[in-house]
Structure 1
Amino acid sequence: MRRFAELLERLAFTPQRLGKLRLLRDYFAAVPDPDRGVALAALTGDLDIRGAKPAMLRALVAERVDEELFALSYDYVGDLAETIVLIWEPQGALADPGLSATVGRLNAAGRTGAPAVVRDLLDALDTPQRYALLKLATGGLRVGVSARLAKQALADFGGVEVTGIEELWHGLAPPYTELFAWLEGRAEKPVQAALAPFRPVMLATPLDEAELAALDPAAFAAEWKWDGIRVQATGEGGERRLYSRTGDDISGAFPDVLAQLDFDGTLDGELLVRGADGGTAAFGDLQQRLNRKTVGKALMGRHPAFVRAYDLLQAGAKDLRPLPFAERRARLEEFLTGLDPERFDLSPLLAFDDWDALAKLRAEPPHPVIEGLMLKRLDSAYVPGRPKGPWFKWKRDPFLIDAVLMYAQRGHGKRSSFYSDYTFGVWTEDETLVPVGKAYFGFTDEELKRIDRFVRDNTVERFGPVRSVRAEPAFGLVLEVAFEGLNRSGRHKSGVAMRFPRVHRLRWDKPPAEADRLLTLQAMLPPE
C-alpha cells in the first residue's frame, strides 16, 4: 500500500506527461503481481470498490472528531478525503498491507461491513496511505492520469505499441497477470478473448491555415465535424458494443442504438441525438444521455440516439483499415444500405474546388451542431493515433464573451490550496449577475496565484469550499471566456449552457459594468 501511496503523491505533483509516464513505468517494474495490476485497474477506472461512499466516510469521522471542528477543517482544506486524512488520529500500531489485500478486504466487507474495515485501515495506515485508501475507495484519484496515459505507460514498460494493448483490453481483467507476463517476455501475447473488440481510433491534427497553400485540394475529401461524441459501433458473433474514442464501453447508456447494431463489422462515427423534428439535436440534449449506466424508455423517447458514420473499419472478418479512405468510404456507403437509417446514417461529403470555397462553407455551416470541417486524404489508410498529414480538423473560431467572476472553489491535487475553479456570470436586464458557466483552466500558475489572492481578499460569503466573491458594476474581476458553442438549458437559471468554456484572458483593466449581457448569449443560441 505504501508504494501505491507514494505513486499517487508523485503523480499528483508531476504535471509533465513524460514525467508521469516515467513514474508509472518505474512502478510497474518495481512492484510485483497482483498489486501492480490492481493499481493499473484503479488508474484506468476498472476497479470497482463497493460500500465506501462519502456519506459513510463522514459518519466514520463523526465518531472521532467534533462536528464543528470537522466542518471548519473541511472548509479550509476543501477536499473530503484530504480533510479526513489530516484530522484522523490513528489508534494502534501502523502497518503496511498490500494494495491487493486492502482492496480484497473492502470488497469482501460489502456495504454493511465496510465502515468497520475502513475504520481499521485508517487506524493502521500512515498519512500518505490513508489518503491513498480514501481516494481509492471513493474512485476519485485525481492525479492527472487518464486511462489512455496508463496504457501508454504500460506499452512503454513492455516495449510494445499502445494500440496492441488497447485491442486486447476488453478481454482482460484485473490484476492483468497474463498481460504483465507478456510485457516482461515471460509468456506469449494474450489471445483476444472478447468478441467485438475496440479498435484504436485515428485522430486528426488541428489545421494551421498557413499550411493550406501547400496542400492539394484534389487529394482531400471534406465533411462536417459534428458536435457529438466520437464512437465506435462494433458487432461480432452476436456480441454488440458501443465504445467511446478512448475505448470505454458505453453500450449500457445507449440500448436504442445497440438494438439496431445487428451486423458483423465496425463503424467509426459520431454519436448524436435527434430533436423533436427528427433532425440533429444540440449537444445539450446528447448530454442528457451521457454518463449513465442504464437509461429509461422516457429518456430514450425524448432524446433518441443515432450514429452518423464516418468510416468502416471492419466488414465481417475483413479488416479494411489498410485500404485507402476513398475505398473504405465506398464500402461504407454500401454497408449502410442494410442498416436502420434512424440509427445509422452517413456523414455527407462536401463538394469543393479549392480552399477558398471550403472556407466559405466553414464560415456558414448549415446546422448549429456543426463545429467545423474534417479534411481526409483520399489515399489515407486508417492508422491508430494522430499521424501528421492524412487528416486535419478545421474548427470554427471559438466564441468569446466578457463575464464577471462570481464564485470560486478550491481545486484538487496540487491545486487543493488554491481557489482555481471559477463560476462566472453576465448581466441581466435588471442589472443583476446570473451564472452562465464554470472554468478551471486557461491561465498560468502566476495568474492562478493572483486570482487566488483576489478571491481571498474579496470574499463576501463562504459555502464550505466555495467562496462568493465581490462582484459589482464598479468592482470585480472580468474574465474573457472562450467556448465552442451554446445550448438551451432548463437546469440553469440563465437558460444557457456553454460547451467547453475556458478562461481566455484576464481583464483586470475592464470594469465589470462593461461585461456582456445575457441577451448577447441568448442571441447566440441555435433556433428552437
Structure 2
Amino acid sequence: MERFAALYEALDATTSTLEKVRAMEAYFRSAPPEDAAWGLYFLTGRKLRRLVGGGALRTWAAALTGLPAWLVEESHTSVGDVAETVALLLDTAGIGGTAEATTSLTTWARDRLPRLGQLDETERQALMVSWWRELPTRQVFLLNKLVTGSLRVGVSATLVARALAGVAGLPVAVVTHRLMGDWTPSETLLPTLIAPGETAAEVARPYPFYLASPIDGDPAQGVIGALDAFVAEWKWDGIRAQIVRRRGETFVWSRGEELMTDRFPELLVAATALPDGTVLDGEILAWQGDRPMPFAVLQTRIGRKKVSARELTAAPISFLAYDLLERDGVDWRERPLHERQAELARLVEAVPSPRIARSEPAVAGLRVDEHGVDRVRVELPLPPVAALAADAVGRLAPLE
C-alpha cells in the first residue's frame, strides 16, 4: 500500500496536470498488475463501502493517544478531515510503524478491509488499533480514508486515461472507451486495458457519455452564431443510455456505466433489428401513446433486475435516440452531427418496433430574444431543450 499512498500524496501536492499524469504513469509502470488494478479502481472514483464511521475513528484515536475527547474534536474542526486528523494525532503521539510496512494494496482491499465488516464494535476497534500501530503515517491516512469510504483522488477520469494511454502507447480515446462499463480489479485487468488491438471485453463496452454544458463567452457577442447553424434537441427527463449492438448481442448501458439490459427486455427485442456494429446514444423513457409518462413511472422499473408482465404493461418504455455513435463497427463520433443524425434517421426508420425511435429535433422551439441572442423557448408540458452545432463532431458543443 506504500506505493499507492505515495502516489496519493504526490497527486495531492501538485496542481499541474502534467505532473499528475507523470506520477500516475510511474505508478502504473512500477506497481504489480493487481495492485495497479486496485489503484486504477480508486483513481477512477470507485470506492469500498464505508466500514467505520468518522466518529468511531476519533473515539478510538482519543483512547489510544490518551488525549481528551474535546481536544480530538477541536483538532478535527481545525483540520477538517477525520482521516488526516487521526493520522496526525497518532504521528504526534509517536504511534505508528515504519516505511518498511509493505503489505500490498491488493491484500488490503481484497482481504484485510472486508474483515472489518464481519466484526462487532470492540473487535473492529482492536483491529484498527493494531493496523495503526503497524503502518507509517501516510499509510494510516490512506487506511482511514478507505475504511470511512471517503477516499477521493484529485484527478479526473480524463487524466487517468491519459496516464494509461501514455503507458500503453495507445490513443487516449481508446483507453477512455475501455475504461467504460463494469469491471473488477484483477491481475489481468491492466494488461487487458493496455493491450494493442481489440479486446473481447470491447464487444459490450459503450462509449463515454457527453452531457450538455454551457458555452464559453458571451452569446450576445456572437459566440453562438447563426440560428440555422444549430440543431435543438429535447432534453428528456429519463435515463441517459446507450444501446450497443455488436456480434449478434445487445447491451444497454446507463450513464452511470451500469449494464441494464435485463431491466428493459423490450429494448433487447427491438434492438435485434439494428445492424451489427451499431451504437445509439439516447434516453430511456416511460412512454405511452405519443407522449412520455412521469419519471416516477420509470422509477418503478429502474430498481428491478427482473420485470414482471404486469410491470411491463404498467410502465412501458421507449428509447429515444439522440445520436449515432457507431455504424458498421466504425466509430462515427468524429463525423459532423448533421451526417450522424441523417444516418440515425434511416436506421431507426427501419426498426419495426416503436420501442426505438428518434428524438426529433425541436427546431420549431427556437427563437431570437430581444438582445439578439439565440434562445430556446418552449411551453410546458414539453421538456427543456439543448442546442448543438449542426457540424459539431462528437457531442462536445452542446448549449443549455
- Provide TM-score, normalisation by structure 2: 0.70
**Which of 279, 293, 296 matches 1:266?**
279
Structure 1 distance, partners of 2:207, 2:80, is 40
Q: 2:208 aligned with 1:197, yes or no?
A: no
Structure 1 residue runs of 5 or longer lacking an equivalent are 387-391, 396-528
Cα displacement (A) at 1:151: 1.7
Cα displacement (A) at 1:78: 3.2
Q: Which residue of 1 aligns with 2:88?
A: 86
Cα displacement (A) at 1:349: 1.9
Q: 2:387 aligned with 1:373, yes or no?
A: yes
Structure 1 distance, partners of 2:10, 2:198, is 31
Cα displacement (A) at 1:131: 0.8
What amino acid sits opposite 1:198 in the alignment? Answer: P
Report if the CA contact (8 A) 1:267-1:310 is conserved.
yes
Question: Larger % of strand: which?
Answer: 1
Report if the CA contact (8 A) 2:367-2:376 is conserved.
no
Structure 2 distance, partners of 1:259, 1:90, is 62
Q: Give identity over the alignment, percent.
A: 28
Please identify, of 152-161 and 71-80, the stretch whose mean Cα deviation from structure 2 is larger.
Answer: 71-80
Q: Which residue of 1 aligns with 2:176?
A: 166
Distance change in 2, residues 1:214/1:54 (3 Å): closer
Structure 1 distance, partners of 2:390, 2:228, is 11
Distance change in 2, residues 1:346/1:238 (3 Å): same
Q: Which residue of 2 aligns with 1:455?
A: none
Q: Secondary structure at the residue paired with 1:231? A: strand
5 Å-filtered alignment, 1:316-331, equals: 321=333, 325-331=337-343
- Provide TM-score, normalisation by structure 1: 0.56
Deviations 1:274-295 (A, max 9, x none): 79x964758xx69979997989
5 Å-filtered alignment, 1:61-80, equals: 61=61, 64=64, 67-80=69-82
Distance change in 2, residues 1:200/1:126 (3 Å): same
Report if the CA contact (8 A) 2:241-2:253 is conserved.
yes
Structure 2 residue runs of 5 or longer lacking an equivalent are 273-277
5 Å-filtered alignment, 1:113-512, equals: 113=119, 115=124, 117-169=127-179, 170=181, 173-175=184-186, 177=188, 179-180=190-191, 183=194, 188-189=196-197, 191-193=199-201, 195-201=203-209, 206=215, 209=219, 221-226=231-236, 230-236=240-246, 237-244=248-255, 248-251=256-259, 256-257=263-264, 260-262=267-269, 263-264=271-272, 265-270=278-283, 279=292, 307-314=319-326, 321=333, 325-336=337-348, 338=351, 341=354, 344-351=356-363, 356=368, 362-367=375-380, 369-377=383-391, 383=394, 386=396, 392-395=397-400
Task: Calculate the aligned-residue CA RMSD, in Å.
Answer: 4.8
What amino acid sits opposite 2:133 in the alignment? Answer: D
Q: Secondary structure at the residue paired with 1:362? A: strand
Structure 2 distance, partners of 1:101, 1:231, is 35
Structure 2 distance, partners of 1:43, 1:203, is 22
Structure 1 distance, partners of 2:34, 2:143, is 17
Q: 2:44 aligned with 1:44, yes or no?
A: yes
Distance change in 2, residues 1:223/1:272 (3 Å): same
Report if the CA contact (8 A) 2:281-2:324 is conserved.
yes
Structure 1 distance, partners of 2:157, 2:322, is 25
Report if the CA contact (8 A) 2:280-2:325 is conserved.
yes
Number of aligned residues: 374
Q: Which residue of 1 aligns with 2:107?
A: 101
Deviations 1:13-65 (A, max 9, x none): 43343443233223334444333332111111345x46723276467547536
What amino acid sits opposite 1:250 in the alignment? Answer: E
Structure 2 distance, partners of 1:59, 1:362, is 56
Distance change in 2, residues 1:30/1:230 (3 Å): same
Question: Larger % of helix: which?
Answer: 2
Structure 1 distance, partners of 2:94, 2:29, is 32
What amino acid sits opposite 1:53 in the alignment? Answer: V
Task: Point out which structure has higher relative CO (alpha carbons under 8 A, 6+ apart).
Answer: 2
Q: Secondary structure at the residue paired with 2:387? A: strand
Report if the CA contact (8 A) 2:325-2:331 is conserved.
yes
Structure 2 distance, partners of 1:138, 1:340, is 48
Structure 1 distance, partners of 2:8, 2:199, is 31
Structure 1 distance, partners of 2:311, 2:86, is 38
Report if the CA contact (8 A) 2:241-2:254 is conserved.
yes
Deviations 1:366-405 (A, max 9, x none): 347415422322xx6x54x74xxxxx3233xxxxxxxxxx
What amino acid sits opposite 1:86 in the alignment? Answer: L
Cα displacement (A) at 1:268: 0.7
Structure 2 distance, partners of 1:25, 1:120, is 33
Cα displacement (A) at 1:126: 1.9
Cα displacement (A) at 1:324: 5.3
Report if the CA contact (8 A) 1:167-1:199 is conserved.
yes
Cα displacement (A) at 1:163: 1.6
Please identify, of 289-298 and 328-337, the stretch whose mean Cα deviation from structure 2 is larger.
Answer: 289-298
Report if the CA contact (8 A) 2:230-2:387 is conserved.
no
Deviations 1:185-214 (A, max 9, x none): xx6446232542112356778265478599
Distance change in 2, residues 1:199/1:86 (3 Å): same
